[in-house]
């Protein structure tokens, strides 16, 4: 099976580069995949008519066009789209995404949507053994205050636990520091993560969904 995997930013891409071999097996043995990082999540266009500038690489802006293209492309067995839910209603957001897929009939690709609740940083917080190994001086009190997969300003909480000056320092510095910091977390924590022990429900849905997807090709 060959899978195209779309994520909304480079930090997500970096994390998945590390985790996918643990979830799917080594590249080409027997499954293959390609990862594509976009430069933000954007929004599903009204009427599902893609009018945004493709050079800006905003994921949801381009999603209807992308799925229609994949559905017509030989050799692509499935598409996986991984997004932060942020402050959205999870059920409503998934329904909106499914409508995009249905709009591609009769050329809709097999598509799996997976949402990080609230943000992908929840997945690091779901493996606190890996997090503490990467950042031994992390503030335990801040980590202990976290309720897994809650809507609480997830990346800010993680920053408050491990970044000098916390999230306030990152926000004060402004762009591109937030993206650089998140990429660094993926580099440091990702290789230490154990997908089997992760306590994040949204990560477990990604893990199990990917495994069911490739099992369906057997």
How many domains are contained in the chain? 2
Where residue 52 falls among pLDDT bands split at 50, 70, 90? low
Question: CA 6, 200, 85, 161: dihedral to nearest 10 degrees?
Answer: -100
| CA–CA dist 117, 114 (Å, integer) | 10
Judged against a pLDDT cut of 90, whether residue 155 lies above it is answered with yes
Q: Given this model, what pLDDT does residue 79 score?
A: 98
Are 112 and 131 in a shared domain?
Answer: no
Let me know whether 107 and 163 are in one domain: no
Given this model, what pLDDT does residue 46 score?
84
**Residues 187 and 88 occupy one common structural domain:** no
Q: Which of 44-48, 52-56, 151-155, 214-218 has the highest mean pLDDT?
A: 151-155
What per-residue confidence (pLDDT) applies to 166? 98
Q: In whole angstroms, what is the distance from residue 44 CA to residue 212 CA?
A: 27
Is 127 found in the same domain as 113? Answer: no
CATH of residue 7's domain is 3.40.50
Structural domain span for residue 183: 121-192
Q: In whole angstroms, what is the distance from residue 144 CA to residue 195 CA?
A: 21
Q: Are 52 and 22 part of one and the same domain?
A: yes
**Which band of pLDDT confidence, cut at 50, 70 and 90, is reported for residue 50?**
low
Q: What is the pLDDT of residue 54?
A: 76
- Pair (15, 101) in one structural domain: yes
User: pLDDT (tens digit, 9 = 90+) per residue, 201-214?
Assistant: 999 999 999 999 99
115 and 128 belong to one structural domain: no
- Between CA 114 and CA 144 the distance in angstroms is 26
Same domain assignment for residues 71 and 137: no
CA distance 67 to 72: 9
117: nearest Cα among 90, 78, 80: 90
Same domain, 83 and 134: no
34 plus 107 within the same structural domain: yes
Q: Are residues 11 and 87 in the same domain?
A: yes
Among 114, 207, 124, 203, smallest CA distance to 163 is for 124
- Looking at the structure, tell me whether residues 26 and 82 fall in a common domain: yes
């Amino acid at each position: 099976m060959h899978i195209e995997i779309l994520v909304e930013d480079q930090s997500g891409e970096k994390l998945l580069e590390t985790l996918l071999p643990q979830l799917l097996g080594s590249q080409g043995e027997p499954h293959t995949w390609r990862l594509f990082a976009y430069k933000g999540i954007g929004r599903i266009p009204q009427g599902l008519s893609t009018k945004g500038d493709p050079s800006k690489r905003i994921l949801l802006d381009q999603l209807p066009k992308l799925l229609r293209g994949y559905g017509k492309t030989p050799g692509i067995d499935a598409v996986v789209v991984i997004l932060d839910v942020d402050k959205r209603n999870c059920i409503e957001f998934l329904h909106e995404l499914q409508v995009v897929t249905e709009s591609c009939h009769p050329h809709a690709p097999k598509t799996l949507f997976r949402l990080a609740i609230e943000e992908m940083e929840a997945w690091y917080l779901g493996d606190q053994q890996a997090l503490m190994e990467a950042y031994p001086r992390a503030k335990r009190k801040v980590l202990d205050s976290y309720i897994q997969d809650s809507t609480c300003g997830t990346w800010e909480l993680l920053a408050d636990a491990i970044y000098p000056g916390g999230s306030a320092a990152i926000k004060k510095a402004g762009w591109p520091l937030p993206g650089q910091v998140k990429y660094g977390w993926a580099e440091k924590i990702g290789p230490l993560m154990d997908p089997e022990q992760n306590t994040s429900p949204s990560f477990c849905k990604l893990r199990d969904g990917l495994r069911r997807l490739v099992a369906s090709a057997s």
